[in-house]
Structure 1
Amino acid sequence: MRTQVAIVGAGPAGLLLSHLLHLRGISSVVLEKRSRDYVERRVRAGVLEQGTVDTLIEADVGERMLREGLPHHGIELRYGGAGHRIPFDKLVPGRSITVYGQQEVVKDLIAARLAAGGDIRFEVEDVALHSLESEPYVTFGGERLDCDVIAGCDGFHGVSRPAIPEGVLTVFEKDYPFAWLGILAKVAPSSEELIYTRTERGFALHSMRSPTVSRFYLQVPADARLEEWPDERTWGELKARLESVPGFTLATGEIVERGITPMRAFVAEPMQYGRLYLAGDAAHIVPPTGAKGLNLAVADVRVLTDALAAYFEDGSTEPLDGYSRACLKRVWRAQHFSWWMTTLLHTFDEDDAYARRLQLSYLDYVTSSEAAATTLAENYVGLPY
C-alpha cells in the first residue's frame, strides 16, 4: 500500500489531521490499535477553546457540536466562602468556550472521514515505524504502508515517539503530588458554568457534558485507588468542597463512570525527526486544570496541515522544517497556564502556611483586578492562531 501521509493514532489529532488533509486533496491512512467502539467511548476532555470550535466549523464537522454543545461565557472561581465569576464575554469579547465531550468530537470526525471514503484501520497490531530519515514506511499486522510522511498522533504511550533514536529528544517533565478522581454522573448540572473550587480539603471542579450529565473532579492523593472512593464518600467530599458558598446545593445522581488521572506535565523537543512529525499527546501533555490537552492537539494539527499542504503542493520544505518551533511556542504558553491554574487552586504541603497565604493573595488579585482576570480569560478561551 502507499499513501502520502501515514497517521498513527485515531484520536482527535490523527482524525482531524486526516480530515483536514482530505480537504486539501492529500491522501492518508489512519492506523489505530484500539477498536472503533473503544475510541468513540473513551471519555476525555470536554472544554473546547474558541479556536478549536472555529476549526471544526471551518472543516464542516461542527454541525452536531453547534447543536448539542454548551457555549460558556465565563467560569467561577470559588474560595474563602465566596464565588467569583470570570466573565469571558466582558474581558475577551467575541471569544468563549464550548463544553462538548472529546468522544463526541471523535465520533463526528470518524463519521466524516468514513463518509468521504477515508481509510481508518482499527484494531491493527504490531505497528512499527521504519526508515524515518529517507523513505518512511509503517508495518502493521504483516502489512506494509509506504508513505512520504508519518504523523505520530498516538498519544503519550504510543509507538511514534519511541521510534525516534535515543539522544535526539530533550524531555521536560513534572509530576504533581496529587491526582484527580473524575466521575461522570447522570444528574443535571447544579451550575450553568464550570466551578473551580479551592478549599483547605483540596481542589474540586464542577463541570458538565450535557443538560442531564455532569462531570466532577476531586483532588486526591497521588496513590489513591478507586476502591477507596465509593459513591457515598465521593459525593460527600464533593459536597464538602463545592457547597462552600451560601445557597448552593450540589445535586447528586447515579455515577456511571469513574477514573483516576495522574497530574503531570511533559514536553518532548523537537516534535519532529526526519519525516516523522509528532502531534498532540505524543509530544506533550499538560495537567487537566487548564483544559488544554485536546486544544493543543488541534493547534498542532492546524500547523502540520498547512506545512504538509505547502510541501505536497509546491515542494516547499520550510514550513515542515519549522513545524516544531511553531508548535512549541503555543505548547509552552499552555504549559505555563496549566501549571499556574494548578498551583493557584490545589492544596500542596499542609505545613506550608506561607505558600497557602500566597495562593489566597493571588486568588484575591485575580478576582479583583481586571488585568489579572483578563490574563486568565484570554488564556482559558485560547489565544488566537
Structure 2
Amino acid sequence: MSRATSRVLSKALQPASSPLPPVPAGGISDFAEIGVAIDAERRRGRGAQTNASGRYEREARAAFDDGWQSLDDLPPFKTTIALDTARKVISRNDSPDIGFDRSINPYRGCEHGCVYCFARPTHAYLGLSPGLDFESKLFVKPDAPMLLEKELTAPGYEPRTIAIGTNTDPYQPIEREHRIMRGILEVLEKAGHPVGIVTKSALVTRDIDILARMAEKSLAKVAISVTSLDPKLARAMEPRASTPPKRLEALRQLSAAGIPTVVMTAPIIPALNDSEIERILDAAAHAGVREANYTVLRLPLEVRDLFREWLMAHYPDRYRHVFSLIRDMRGGKDYDSQWGSRMKGTGPIAWMIGRRFEIACERLGLNRKRVKLSTAHFVQPAKSGEQLDLF
C-alpha cells in the first residue's frame, strides 16, 4: 500500500472530535490526519485542497507517483456538466429552525467552490468527493421549470414561500448558459408564487426585470451573502463567486429596483472574518439594504476536514486559534447539529458575535421592519393538455 493511500484511509478512520493535531513544519502535504493535497496547478481557481473519496465508498483512492507517470502530467480539474433527471424539483423539510418548508436547487454541486459550504457532503450521495468533485463535477436540472409547473398544479397544493439557493447557488457561473433559474422565475411569476433567493453572485441582477415585477406584489426577496470585504480572503474562501464590490453593487441595483434585499454575513468564522461584521453591515446599509442576518461556521461531516486543509494552506498561523474558538461555540466539538443552536452556536463567543451583530443593525436601522411575502396572488397553473369539461 502506498504512503499516499495510507493517509487517506487514516483520515477516514479519524474520530469526529479528535484533538487538534500539531502544526507540521512541512505544511499541508505532511498533514497525515487531514489528507493528500492535490498539486496547486491542477486545482487552480478551486477552493478545496483535496479530493478524498466520499464516505459511502468502499475504497479510498489517492493519486501517487508510481514511477511510470509523473503527477505533474495529470490534467487540471475542469468543470464538467451532466444531466440530473430528477422527477421532482421541490424539496421539503420540517426543520424547526429553518424559516421555510420547501426549496428548489436547479443545480447539484457548485462551481463557486466555497470551502466551508455545508452542502459539500451531498456529493457523497452520488459516489463523488465532497472536495474538488463538488466544485468541478456539476449536475443541471434542465426540466426544473417544467417540473415546477407540474408540481404547482397538484391537487391540494398550498403555496408558501419557496427558497432557492439554500443548498447550492442558483446563479453560479453555468447559469449564464443554462438559464434554469430564469425559467423557474418565469413559472413562479406566472403563478403568483412567492420566492426567496440566496446567492453570492451578481448574476442575479440579470433577472431584475422579473424580480421587480414580482416585488410589486410582495412575491420576491433576495439575500446576498457577503462574507468579507477583503478581496484576498474572499477569493481564497470563495474562488469563483462574485467579488465583494460586485455583490454590494448587486444589492444596490436590486434595492434601487424596489426589490427587498437582505445582506447575509454568513458564515462568520471567529478569528478570520468576524472582525468585519460591522463594516459589512455598514457597506450593505449604504447600498440600500434594510434587512440583515447571519450564521456562524458549520462543519458537518467532510466539511470539517476540507476546512482544516484550507485553513492550514492559507492561514496556518491561525489554525489552532480558529478551531479553539469554533469548539468554544460548539460545546467542545467541531460541530453540533442540534436544532436551535446549529446556526448561531452557544457560549460566550457566540453570544458576543450575536450581540455585535444586533448592535450594528440597531445603529444602522436594519431589521426594523421585515418584508413578508404574500401568497394572495397565487393562481394554480392549468395542467398541460387538460381537457375541458363537457358540462
Q: State the TM-score, normalized to the length of structure 2.
A: 0.20
| Structure showing greater relative contact order (alpha-carbon pairs closer than 8 Å, 6 or more residues apart) | 1
Greater per-residue strand proportion: 1
Q: State the TM-score, normalized to the length of structure 1.
A: 0.21
